[in-house]
Amino acid sequence: MRISFASTLLLASTASAFTHIHSRPTFSTRIMATSQDELKKLVGYKAVDDYVKSGMVVGLGTGSTAYYAVERVGEKLKSGELKDILAIPTSVRTKEQAESLGIPLVTLDTHSKLDVAIDGADEVDPELNLTKGGGGALFREKIVEVCADKFIVIVDESKLCDGLGPGFPIPVEIVPFCHEHTMRMIGNLPSCKGKCKPVLRLGSAANNKVDGDEPAVTDNGNYIVDLHFEEPIKDPTTMGKEIKNVVGVVEHGLFCGMSTAVIIAGSDGISVKEAK
């Protein structure tokens, strides 16, 4: 794989701190950048450099890591290194960023097939299942990313976990109508009952911190319930199916079996884990 930011990287055969993932490591590099923002920039730029080619339709993710992937697409379009790119944003704020960079935008209504989508994640388990939606864009992220031939996930090593759930609440987007009823129905599911605490997100939808008194509202006009677990979820795929079957649920933040590859940045290097 080509590394365009070679001046910040020193190649080395370092082992990943996430070697228990059951997927093949593509390569590992030792990096000199150590701040979290620098790590996010490295993986964001690498994802675009390695997976985005001229003429592609690209899904643009949402969040502090995906921001740098969008930035890189804009840079390479401006320089002429990329041409004839069409992009589909997964949130209003990503749309605004892309427009400010001159990235041509389309929607799934006209382009239902994407070549690649790039996005961050709140947690990644050993099977490359994800928790997403901390930034409130889970529905738009999933509807775009499930249409991509390749879904490239970009994270720093703090997002790696042995099991989804305890480290980051599972977001569920629900319609406002009778939202308390829908929350109870989710909490009483076999995979959830007695195992999690459903909490309505308040304030801004862009984070899962309480920063207001009113329910957080997504770009789609819906509410978000965050499911707080104390123990790892044993079967996230089954849980996702149960949650999706609840009337009133729009989408959940369990992204299972969708990842093509996960690019991981840590203080000791960058590695790529590919799904089987």
266 forms bridges with which residues in the sheet?
A: 269
β-bridge partners, 230 = none
Q: How far apart are CA 126 and CA 118, in angstroms?
A: 19
Q: Which of 123, 127, 141, 251 is catalytic?
A: 141
Per-residue three-class SS string for the chain: CCCCCHHHEEECCCCCCCCCCCCEEEEEEEECCCCHHHHHHHHHHHHHHHHCCCCCEEEECCCCCHHHHHHHHHHHHHHCCCCCCEEEECCHHHHHHHHHCCCCECCCCCCCCEEEEEECCCEECCCCCEECCCCCCHHHHHHHHCCEEEEEEEEEHHHECCCCCCCCCEEEEECCCCHHHHHHHHHCCCCCCCCEEEEECECCCCCCCCCCCCECCCCCCCEEEEEEECCCCCCHHHHHHHHHCCCCEEEECEECCCCCEEEEEECCEEEEEECC
Inter-residue contact 119 to 90 (CB < 8 Å): yes
Please say if 141 is a catalytic residue. Answer: yes
- Residues labelled catalytic: 141
